[in-house]
Amino acid sequence: MAIAVVDGWQHRGVGIALLAALTERARSAGFRRFQMSMLRDNVAARALAKKLGPPTQPATVIAAAGNVVELSYSIGRRRLTAAP
């Protein structure tokens, strides 16, 4: 699955809202971890990744090749919000 937000809607909380809904659905289905891939130079995706996972287990890099980075994080019980 991919999440993309068109340019005109970026930096308005749409990406985090989509990811929050997906996380809640995955949690209710019994999933415990997510993996995500992003371009290394995608500043917005990197900022979003910093908000993922419990504070004691932040998202971790599990692979990097060229300009692509793959992260893994626990979806735990923490609810994602658009608030900083």
Place of tokens 């415990």: 32
Binned at pLDDT 50, 70 and 90, residue 66 comes out as very high
Nearest to 35 by CA among 61, 10, 17, 12: 61
Q: What is the pLDDT of residues 67-80, one digit of tens each?
A: 999 988 888 666 66
The amino acid at 80: L
Nearest to 74 by CA among 3, 13, 40, 23: 23
pTM: 0.69
Q: What is the pLDDT of residues 12-41, one digit of tens each?
A: 989 888 888 888 888 899 998 888 898 989
